[in-house]
Structure formats: C-alpha cells, structure tokens
Amino acid sequence: MDVLQIVFFAAIAVVLGVFLFRVLGRPTGYMGEDETHEDPDYRGPYGHNEDLDKNKETSIIRPEVFQRYDREVADGLKSIEAEDRAFEPVNFVEGAKGAYRMIVEAFAEGNREALKPLLSERVFNAYSQAIGDRESRGETMKTQVERFADVKITHASLNKGRARVKVYFASDLATETKNAAGERIAGDWSTLQSVKETWSFERDVASDNPNWVLAGVKPEDDA
C-alpha cells in the first residue's frame, strides 16, 4: 500500500503517530486536501458531511459492513462510529495490519522513538524494558512480517468515551535473535513462525488527539 510505504520510509515518530490515525480512522486512498464544493449535499472524500450528519442518527457505514459481525461486535462498532465519524471498520482492519507491521518490526529493531506514539503508556513501558534487557545482554533481533493468514475484528465497545477495538491476527513471521558474539540463540530467519494474537487498540473519542494506540496483546491458541 502506498501510504504504508511512505510512512515506513519516514523516520520521524510524529509522522508515525499521525499515520496511525489515518490508517485506523479513515480510508487510506485519499491523501490530498479536501476540495471545496458549494453543493450542500456533498458528503466529502470520506463519505460524510458534518452539517448533514448533525441532524441524522443513521450510520454512514454501509449496512453490509456490519453484517460481517455478530450482533455484539456490530453494535460496538456502531457506537464508536456514532461518536467518531471518521471511524470505518474495513479501513480500520487494513490500518491495523499496517500498525502491526510497524510495531512488531520497530520492537525488534529497538526503535523506542517509533514505538512511543503507537503504544499506551503501560505497553510502551513494558516494551521499552524488554528492549533494554535485550540491549544489556548485547543481543540483537530482527523480525519481518511475511504475510497474514487472518485478520479480523473480534470485539468493539465504547465505555465512557473510551473506544476499544480488538483485532485477531494470525501471521507468519521471519525472526531471529543473536547474542553479542553473533550466534543465533532464538528463532531462525530461514523458517517462518506462525503467530496468533489478539491486539487491543484504544482511543479517547473526546480527545483532540486523533491517534489510536495499542493497549494490550494477548497470545491465542486459536480463534
């Protein structure tokens, strides 16, 4: 995806934070400035018009999108979209995949600056400590996400203005860790490892900060 490629080659953490909002909250295919339209019914590049939507309680998301989920998840997605009109489940999933790649690979590289705007404070502290422990032992790690076998939203909720979306990832990774002497001590770059996890993304919909952050990771045997 072009947007992801642009961000991967950007080395500024602030850019990564803004990117996370774009991919998790809005369609990624439009990157230009909004055009000016005099038509009062014009709904803009993201399919909505704020003046029109103020007086409408109906969802701007196509009904068939919600039909992909069970009732509890669909209701949660609708409640989030009602408070955050930039939210769209299909684009959120695509953006979550981009966030997954960035976070997994930045953790392996020990890139705290890239990780900080993408993680909650609790998760960042845990990741930073793990990176520090690895550095203290003189170990180096490299990881690359090769492909996704499955990615799907398994939970969505809005509680006191706090939106939470859980995404299940089944991915294949190439990963390897070497000690200070350059000897492989974990993983094998030539053999892919299958990983199944559920990631929890959160955002305060009342906040001026538009970014979603990773708030939790749970290993899964199956889903």
pLDDT digits 0-9 by tens, 42-73? 333 333 344 434 434 556 667 777 778 899 99
Residue pair 111/131 in contact by the 8 Å Cβ criterion: no
CATH classification of the domain holding 148: 3.10.450.240
What pLDDT digit, counting tens, does each position of 113-134 carry?
A: 999 999 999 999 999 999 999 9
Tokens (6 digits) for 220: 């899964």
Query: Residue 45 contacts by C-beta under 8 Å, 6 or more apart in sequence?
Result: 27, 30, 34, 35
* 51 class by beta-carbon count within 10 Å (0-12 exposed, 13-18 middle, 19+ buried): exposed
Residue 112, pLDDT > 80, answer yes
37 backbone dihedrals φ, ψ, rounded to 5° = -130, 135
Assess if residue 55 is contained within a domain: no
Assess if residue 48 is contained within a domain: no
- Split into its structural domains, the chain has a count of 1
Parent domain of 192: 2-30+61-219
Assess if residue 126 is contained within a domain: yes
Assess if residue 54 is contained within a domain: no
Assess if residue 210 is contained within a domain: yes
| Confidence bin at 23 (pLDDT 50/70/90) | very low
Residue 99, pLDDT > 60, answer yes
Assess if residue 95 is contained within a domain: yes
Assess if residue 53 is contained within a domain: no
| Confidence bin at 11 (pLDDT 50/70/90) | very low
